[in-house]
Structure 1
Amino acid sequence: MCRWLAYSGEALQPSLVILDAQHSLVAQSLNSPLGNETVNGDGFGFGWYPENNEPGSQPAFFHSIEPAWNDQNLRELTRSIRSPLFFSHVRAAGGPPIQQTNCHPFRHENWMFMHNGFLTEFSKVKRDLTYAVDPSLYPNILGTTDSEVLFNLALTLGLKDDPIAAMAATIRKVESVGRDHGVAFPMQGTVAVTDGATMWAFRYSSQMRSRTLFHSTDVETLWEMYPDAERFKLFGPNARLIVSEPLNDLPGVFQEVPESTALVVESSGYHHEPFLAADD
């Protein structure tokens, strides 16, 4: 459905990965070898925290319905700012219209969220899932995507207190409602969420055939593996990337996140946790 990336670490110009990598996110918007759709040209989004990111800082956004490869403002912006944590997403619309309010990432206070995938037969479950959102959050749903409902449902179920438990409860709610409406495999996709300090990513589908997800190898290891690669020297030792698909073809630079896994990215590194095994 879409492609996305999430970065945390030393502040850098987002263009380094969004524009300039061999298989950058903008390149994937034109040609996504591992995606279900080769072209992801139905708008894009970029959300970033300030360079002096303080606890509780609200991220800034840039959304556009233009194809990412055709937007000069994206190039200007990502080459002009520096950020220690940012999300970016290119969209392949699977039904909801192409409009700015349907572009990821989504925001609530200091939290950001994005999703690659879908809630199967969303039209059947939309009413029940939307009504399950806390009334105080309902006015925040400005678009028509299943992803925005998923985010607000997760906020309702405790995302701010325990993101892993909240996402598990959210997906189980989606599956319960879906199956009540005769949907065999209600949930598909990968999800990224952050509070501006820690990043969480989830790879899960009800069918156990999820969209692809990878994370980068730690930079100090990459310096040892590729000592002559000048590009890797542009990243600090704490730089970490989560991506829908690798940004280059070099062996060992990206590692696949296993099916049914929650990935936690914090200052100490990456942590994998089993997430919603089939018998949970």
Structure 2
Amino acid sequence: MCRWAAYRGEPLFIEELVSSPAHSLIEQSVCATRAKTSTNADGFGLAWYGDRAEPGRFRDVLPAWSDCNLKSIARQIRSRLFLAHVRAATHGATRRDNCHPFVLGPWSFMHNGQIDHFDRIRRSMEAMLDDTHFNARHGTTDSELLFLLAMQFGMAERPLAAMAEAIGFVEGLSRHMTGEARVRFTAAFSDGATLYAVRYSTDEFAPTLYAGPMGAEGGYCLVSEPLDDNSESWVEVPAGSAVILGEDGLNIAGFTPDQGRLETREREMA
């Protein structure tokens, strides 16, 4: 399982999450403590927002701990909103196009988890995409395809509702085609203004998610694992939750997949 960290608030050096803390994201790439796999060595990536609408992005296939460029960039770039990810591959080869975060226009997305039976349902998932979103797919991961489905379903206008429809569509499709479904999904995504996150699983094993204050007053980070041992600073986000981090601070709401898209698709094909 992958590890990731995201921040929104007053501009902060990326190293404050990626390399400086005792249990930084780079440290988690070597020794994660709250995941099935302790090593996350199949690449890394950053997406950060500055003066332009589209985020900057840096990705590579090297293990995060062995790339001196990552530490240098994290030390020099300061951003009000950024996403950082270290990868342990489940679907898709170790190549740059499969490293998170994924980007489309102003939106960025990164994911920890997996879609069971992905190889059997992938073509049907891709068939839901129009030409624009299909041609935006550069890698082979389940994560990128799920992101593009959410964009297809209107994430730009209604981020959490579109993500609920994307997950509901995948679950329903899997049950229809294989007789069972399991989606494990803890993800962060942003349009450069608001940072969103979802923690969800079809079963009881949702990948971990924690929230804690960071930087100046009003700044927060969302992480797969706490960045230090100060347990009072970190709150575990419950499974079945959506997190919205915007101008009015951090808010947590319930999250439930919506299978309306699959039902509509089935009616169209009947």
3-state secondary structure, aligned to 1:39? coil
CA distance in 2, matches of 1:196, 1:121: 33
Match for residue 251 of structure 2 among 240, 258, 271: 271
Give a deviation string over 1:222-252, Cα, whole Å, max 9, x none: xxxxxxxxxxxxx211211000010011121
3-state secondary structure, aligned to 1:107? strand
Give 1:276 deviation, angstroms: 0.8
3-state secondary structure, aligned to 2:132? coil
Contact 2:19 2:25 in 1 (8 A): yes
Give 1:101 deviation, angstroms: 0.1
Is 1:126 matched up with 2:106?
no
Query: Counterpart of 1:146 in structure 2: which amino acid?
Result: D
Provide the identity percentage: 38
Aligned position for 1:27: 27
Match for residue 63 of structure 1 among 51, 59, 63: 59
Aligned position for 1:145: 141
Contact 1:120 1:183 in 2 (8 A): no
CA distance in 2, matches of 1:188, 1:72: 32
Aligned position for 1:258: 238
Please give the residue correspondences for 1:81-120 in structure 2 after superposition, counting only pairs within 5 Å: 81-120=77-116
Contact 2:5 2:222 in 1 (8 A): yes
CA distance in 2, matches of 1:169, 1:157: 7
Where does structure 2 lack aligned partners over 5 or more consecutive residues?
Answer: 261-270
Aligned position for 2:155: 159
Aligned position for 2:70: 74
Query: Counterpart of 2:211 in structure 1: which amino acid?
Result: H
Please give the residue correspondences for 1:240-251 in structure 2 after superposition, counting only pairs within 5 Å: 240-251=220-231
Give 1:95 deviation, angstroms: 3.6
Query: Counterpart of 1:267 in structure 2: which amino acid?
Result: E
Contact 1:134 1:153 in 2 (8 A): no
3-state secondary structure, aligned to 1:197? coil
Contact 1:208 1:260 in 2 (8 A): no
3-state secondary structure, aligned to 1:137? helix
Query: Counterpart of 1:110 in structure 2: which amino acid?
Result: P
Aligned position for 2:17: 17
TM-score under structure 1 length normalisation: 0.90
Contact 2:167 2:257 in 1 (8 A): no
3-state secondary structure, aligned to 1:37? coil
Contact 1:185 1:207 in 2 (8 A): no
Name the Cα RMSD after superposition: 1.6
Give a deviation string over 1:248-276, Cα, whole Å, max 9, x none: 11121110000100110012111111111
Give a deviation string over 1:84-123, Cα, whole Å, max 9, x none: 1100000001141000000000001110001100111210
TM-score under structure 2 length normalisation: 0.93
3-state secondary structure, aligned to 1:252? helix
Contact 2:211 2:237 in 1 (8 A): yes
Contact 2:91 2:142 in 1 (8 A): no
CA distance in 2, matches of 1:202, 1:134: 25
3-state secondary structure, aligned to 1:212? coil
CA distance in 1, matches of 2:130, 2:228: 42
Give 1:208 deviation, angstroms: 3.1
3-state secondary structure, aligned to 1:246? coil
CA distance in 2, matches of 1:237, 1:266: 13
Give 1:277 deviation, angstroms: 7.3
Contact 1:63 1:103 in 2 (8 A): yes
CA distance in 2, matches of 1:266, 1:164: 14
3-state secondary structure, aligned to 2:232? coil
3-state secondary structure, aligned to 2:185? strand
Please give the residue correspondences for 1:28-43 in structure 2 after superposition, counting only pairs within 5 Å: 28-43=28-43
Aligned position for 1:230: none
CA distance in 1, matches of 2:12, 2:241: 28
Give 1:183 deviation, angstroms: 5.0
